[in-house]
Structure 1
């Protein structure tokens, strides 16, 4: 989790548009077009989410993606780890061991325990992971629903349905 990239943001937005769509898969191309990003880029993100069981892929003319679990069971941490991998927030280089005063031999106290800077970073990472684990896709979806007008959800559904009805629109979008 060294850095949370834009891939997580695109992945989360895609997941939001899958909430409540358990009977109708949404195509990766349409999810990409809805966000204004290249389909090839989003399909790589969706592949990582599929590998983690967060989405399920369905092939064929009516194929696409659906949530792999209920949104109440998908945490932000699940999404971050699926897309970014479980990397540490801080990669300690043990700089303390290269201190000029410790040459040619380091004193024992210098290497005792975890580096104080590393310890602080581990604490921050634990807090961040805990916060991400406490928030679910269902909560984020509910938050969006409280902000958006009542007609927004229907507009989103209509947009995706119109895309299915007009395959000529999709022909020039690439893979």
Structure 2
């Protein structure tokens, strides 16, 4: 199983905002330099995080991005769903058989993985982080 680089960047950006500047706005250029990615690519990721309600953005001289006030509840699963969507990892069984034993195993495994990711919060990592990523 593999998640896109965008998910990796999103998790690191949220952790960076939580550790370094939870109540301050940070510009896209500064975040892009910190992650060593293009501002254009980062803007697409940030737009998804804004739409998911995890961060807020503002324009102007003091514009930028910052965490929403309730950011402590953001889980890894929330970030993954914001970036990747919530479609199942398993494509399903042949002929869409509702009694497919393989599908039952795959869905069960996916549910366990999602529960694990749901339990891990960005705020928990922020409490443990000693450096800004």
Same fold flag (TM > 0.5): yes
What is the TM-score of this pair, normalised by structure 2? 0.89
Per the alignment, residue 171 of structure 1 pairs with: none
Comparing 60-69 and 16-25, the one that deviates more: 16-25
Aligned to 2:53: 53
CA distance in 2, matches of 1:42, 1:119: 37
**Pair 1:69–1:79, CA change in 2 (3 A):** farther
The alignment status of 1:7 with 2:6, answered yes or no, reads yes
Structure 1 residue 3: Cα displacement: 4.2
Q: Is the CA contact (8 Å cut-off) linking 2:18 and 2:126 kept in structure 1?
A: yes
- Note the 1:138-149 alignment, pairs <5 A: 138-145=123-130
Shift of 1:35: 1.0
Residues 1:136 and 2:121 aligned together: yes
Q: Residues 1-175 of structure 1: matches in 2 within 5 Å?
A: 3-19=2-18, 21-92=21-92, 94-95=93-94, 97=95, 111=97, 113-145=98-130, 152=131
Kept in 2: contact 1:3–1:89 (CA 8 A): no
Shift of 1:62: 1.6
CA distance in 2 between counterparts of 1:120 and 1:28 reads 42
The structure whose RCO (Cα within 8 Å, separation 6+) is larger is 2
Q: How many residues align?
A: 132
The two structures, once aligned, show a CA RMSD in angstroms of: 2.0
Uncovered stretches (5+) of structure 1, i.e. residues with no partner: 98-110, 146-151, 157-175
Give the Å deviation of 1:77: 0.7
Q: Give yes or no for contact 2:23–2:67 (8 Å, CA) kept in 1.
A: no
Q: How many angstroms apart in 2 are the aligned matches of 1:137 and 1:48?
A: 17
User: What 5-or-longer segments of structure 2 have no aligned partner?
Assistant: none
Q: Distance in 1 between matches of 2:16 and 2:70?
A: 13
Runs of 4+ in 1 over 6 A off after TM superposition: none
**Is the contact made by 1:71 and 1:136 (CA closer than 8 Å) also made in structure 2?**
no
- C-alpha contact 2:54 2:71 (8 A) present in aligned 1: no
